[in-house]
Homo-oligomer: A and B are copies of this chain.
């Protein structure tokens, strides 16, 4: 009964649904928007919080070998020299000497080879005005302190990982963890992308969920790499992302970053023109990062293996998820347009995993009289102490169900004529459309059970 439209149809519909129902708004929209920056609305912020909490629970709270961290966005500028970002985190750009516009050197709208006399500017159309490509750093820079000069430049971090590397010994020593162990972090990162786009897929301000796992370089590090590959793929499956839309993509030697010994992306098939795209990277970074920070800071970043009286710089297995693009994958994955048997109107459903759904239950009096709104309001207040619920008494009941289906609410609780007589309610399942009558006193318990699965 379900049909999945292919991208870009689904994407356009999602952008519209996301705005209309309060998942995602264009940032500073009343001022014409901020380029490739988005705001999460009332439902979006709950969906994202649920996603981040699932990651945090799985990666930190339910493990005894991973510690949490929340490092600042503003870091010492030497961090980015050590990491290689100052020298190497660049895109080649060309300038038009006539109209002063800038383009990526590989912009398909440029006719000819930039720098050559016959190359044509895609903006003003002039020939021979395009410069040779020059490297442009993608880090946002700002100035700390009262003077704006080169000594006061700091960057907005382009990734959260470096906050973990520079705190490696602080975390290890304060927690007394022994290698192998990991450090996990959720936080904002910023990249001044030249060609961002595809809604929240590639944005200039985004959120990462990263974990660096420190292992003995003389030990079974490739086994840990395989372990984390499997763990992370399983995590995406448990979110409800469909098996056939998930795959590993192995970086071939040309693709492999200079610091990486092995790298796999977990890709999700967004459909249409976007197709399979990375939602997470699982990378074997060797001792590149800790080694560089040792070199640039002059501080030892060695682990002391007491039983064996050895000191070494651990290898790092990294798992790095984009929270925003995983959220987009969840929306694409969940979106369905359906015909419902016996109804004229179709419905739009977001079949989100109940644990991720922003609202857990709608509470509806069948009609606005005979004590039903009072009983429903009381029930909604009670439920709200445990879960986000939405009370709705306006319009036909079918329309109220469909409004909740469209935002992914997994359960609908209806108070009808029988309810006020015998203190029972019906509970409707978003996906099966089955309704079941239960005692009103059991609603919290039944919802809790179903949400826990």
| A interface, CB within 8 angstroms of B | 19-22, 25, 27-35, 37-46, 48-49, 56, 61-64, 67-76, 78-79, 93, 102, 136, 140-147, 154, 156, 163, 166-167, 169-171, 174-175, 188, 190, 192, 194, 204-205, 293, 296-297, 299, 301, 380, 384-385, 388, 391
Contacts and interface: CB of A to CB of B under 8 A. Distances in A.
A188 B73 contact: yes
Contact of A31 (B39, B174, B297): B297
A194 B293 contact: no
B192 A30 contact: no
A146 B388 CA distance: 43
A40 B69 CA distance: 6
A235 to B, nearest CB: 16
Contact of A19 (B67, B78, B79, B174): B174
Contact of A44 (B44, B70, B204): B70
A76 to B, nearest CB: 4
Copies, count: 2
B27 A170 contact: no
A22 B175 contact: yes
Given A147-B102, A194-B146, A27 B74 contact: yes
A25 B20 CA distance: 42
Contact of A93 (B45, B136, B146, B163): B146
Nearest to A28: B76
Nearest to A207: B70
B384 A61 contact: yes
A20 B174 contact: yes
Can you list the 7 inter-chain pairs with the closest CB atoms, starting with the nearest? A22-B174, A28-B76, A31-B76, A42-B67, A40-B70, A39-B71, A30-B297
